Amino acid sequence: MDWLLALLALFGVISMYCVFRPRSARVRSAPWASFAIAVHTTELPWMRLALQVPLTLLLVLCGALGSMLGVIALLLLMASWLGVLWCLRCSLDSGGTVEDALQAGLGADYRQAIAPRLAAGLRAAPVFADWRHPFAMKRPGVEVIRGISYAPGGVRQTLDIYRPAVIPPQGCPVLLQIHGGAWVIGHKAQQALPLMWLLASKGWICVSVNYRLSPSVGFPTHLEDCKRALAWVRRHGAGYGMDTGFVAVTGGSAGGHLAALMGLTANRPELQRDDPGVDTSVQACVPFYGVYDFLTRYDQHPNGAVIRGFLEDRVMHATPEQDPALWDLASPVAQIHEDAPPFMLLHGELDSLAPIADARTFVQRLRRTSRNPVVFVELPGAEHGFDFMHTPRTENAIDAVHRFLEWVRSRHEDALASSAGAPRVQDAAAVSGNSAQGVTVWARS
């Protein structure tokens, strides 16, 4: 029994090392292994305690403390639980973190700017019932339509629709979700499920898209497919209950990278040759733990040379020297302009795969140039992919995204009403309908 306790303690020590090791080491040596070991501790600490504490008690009762090995193992295991408790506290305290970020980016009184009918749909603070079943995603009143083709390219050019079972006459605002997976793996049915199910239950329609993957294709095919999906929404979304005049885009990891590019490369003819004239602007952009500079030109990534080698061989199909313009196009930090839509970026402070320094650099430069608000949420204790499951942190994060989107939507309606010479109306259809023309820009509060 002492050896079983020692193995449990060894696992605890290794996982704590992966959580707390220096940031430079986190992304330089075996980042995928570090992520795989750390993520269950940073994102599900309460479940780890719920499993390990009874198991440890059982081993102690069965005589695991009968040797010095067992005693040392118990002390190490209990020390590791202090780190687990820290992770739990970070997760529980994340509500204040996201609210502070929203107030810093939108103004301390941003909630007052949300239209009353939209504010009424915002969820109050999460409770234990919201996250006690981490992988139970379905919500009542939501239906899913799967496998719709947006281009004639097989299953990799299809989308799923998450929508309210009852669609209001004016239609629902749209969130386009782009999955991650290092541009080489991933599927539309696997990611951002807590966010999509929540928003669909609150009157939004979420469209989750597949896109063709590397190494079979090279960039910018991934981005072009995402634009094809958006063009499909603009052309056909009204038939599914969408208000195509308000489309936001989100995604995580590689999907966060593509979401940022969707926000920054609207209506470029060379990226939408199949859909000339279709509006590919978005009204808001919400990347999660994305990659924002393929060239790591500001030394944001300690392992930049390895990352660049992976991108050259599998994603870009060219070196920066062979095609510098392509590498710039693939880097959101090089595509920033003053008419960028409102951005809300979320990133874990302990991210092993996409270093937070990259997000900080992107945010700094975006705020310097964009005329629209930029909200940046740095989540203490969070790893990469923190929103794959229900946790206190995930629930606080998706609630914050909901508040941000309703704030942007309210400002969008105000701008449309102002341009029409009419006050804000209570029915979004009366001001936005299904128009997809133009981009509304307002000054940062």
Over 17-66, what HEC string results? HHHHCCHHHHHHCCHHHHHHHHHHHHHCHHHHHHHHHHHHHHHHHCCHHH
Q: Which of 82, 60, 62 is nearest to 71 (CA)?
A: 60
**Cβ atoms 232, 242 nearer than 8 A:** no
Of the residues 351, 358, 387, 399, which is catalytic?
351
Query: Among this protein's residues, is 253 annotated catalytic?
Result: yes
The dihedral through the CA atoms of 427, 196, 186, 27 has a sign that is positive
Of the residues 222, 347, 384, 412, which is catalytic?
384
Name, in order, each residue with C-beta under 8 angstroms of 109's C-beta and a sequence gap of 6 or more. Answer: none
Q: How many CB atoms lie within 10 A of CB 146?
A: 12
Question: How many angstroms separate the CA atoms of 299 and 269, rounded?
Answer: 32
Question: How many angstroms separate the CA atoms of 364 and 16, rounded?
Answer: 31
Of the residues 80, 253, 331, 432, which is catalytic?
253
Q: What is the helix (H) or strand (E) element at residue 201, kind and residue range?
A: helix 193-201
User: What amino acid is encoded at 193 in this protein?
Assistant: L
* Residues forming beta bridges with residue 347, ordered by sequence position: 378
Query: Among this protein's residues, is 384 annotated catalytic?
Result: yes
- For the annotated catalytic residues, the residue numbers are 253, 351, 384
